[in-house]
Amino acid sequence: MTGTLPYFAALGSESGTAPRSASGPGLGRPVAMAHRGFSLAGLENTLAAFRAAVELGYSHLETDVHTTSDGELLLFHDGTLNRVTDGHGRIHDLTADEVRRARIGGTEPVPTFDELVAAFPDARFNLDVKDWHSVPSTVAAIERHQVHDRVLIASFSDRRRRAVLKQLSRRTASSAGTMADTLFLVLGPLLSARVLGSPARAVLRRALRDVDALQVPVRYRAIPVVTAGFVRRAHELGLYVHVWTINDPAEMHRLLDLGVDGIVSDRADLLKDVLQARGQWA
């Protein structure tokens, strides 16, 4: 666990003084992350949406990756083309040429990771690895472009996330999967209360051994996740807390008041307004 990786140091202060890496979790400016880019027209995970976010001043872009049958790493959330494109079929059953014929919202092509890196050479990328088919292609793409310092590897599956990390030649930032998040949520209060026995401590330590951030929802069904205690305990362990997917300005303010280190939002415009109003926009 570390808060000094370059991914977290991308945002320095407006005066050009210490970057985030000099402060660490709980200090400095929160990271604003554009969820699948920014498009009020619903053109998620398109180069147009990522460009709109960058033009707003965003340096951190959240996206998802899937892989075609012939190994092309694509930026796409769903396992199929059906929901957001005029095409059909499971991505890992289609070739790259077949996917290129589809249009998101009827207008925008499905972009590749290579195109994203080329288009935005200064951006940071929060990559949600959606399936096992994408593990080798994600590793190959990061190695090909040498963007280890510019990516954070995420996945709901801790096993899949670790499979990517294990094959990389250099360390990248990483956020916990569902199991590690759950263990921290359940065992964290006991750890702070110093009633957690050594076997349970060892379980928690092992679950978080390669984790830099907890990227979590505000709540899971009826269970609160992001509380003042949750944020405090994460910071005590040197972990960043990023919250998704927050589109309401009042909720953004509330979470920032709790001390969260980042917010993922579909409404990049509103999140920017909130951070500017608080003097926290870099």
Q: What is 100-126 written as a DSSP string? A: HT-EETTTEEPPBHHHHHHH-TT-EEE
| CA separation for the pair 139, 128 (Å, rounded) | 13
Written as six digits, the tokens of 50 are 């990522």
What is the C-alpha separation between 269 and 5, in angstroms, rounded? Answer: 27
Q: Work out the end-to-end distance of the chain between its first and last CA atoms, rounded to an integer number of angstroms.
A: 25
Q: Report residue 161 as tokens.
A: 């996330």
* Cβ count near 74 (within 10 Å): 26
Pairing of β 103-104 and β 108-109: antiparallel
> Structure tokens of 26?
């709980």
DSSP class per residue in 119-175: H-TT-EEEEEE-SGGGHHHHHHHHHHHT-GGGEEEE-S-HHHHHHHHHH-SS--EEB
Q: For residues 87 and 68, what is the distance between their CA atoms, to the nearest angstrom?
A: 14
Instruction: List the one residue out of 50, 29, 11, 32 whose CA is nearest residue 246.
Output: 32
Return the active site residues: 35, 77
Smallest CA-to-CA distance from 25 within 212, 226, 217 is with: 212
- For 27, the 3-state DSSP assignment is coil
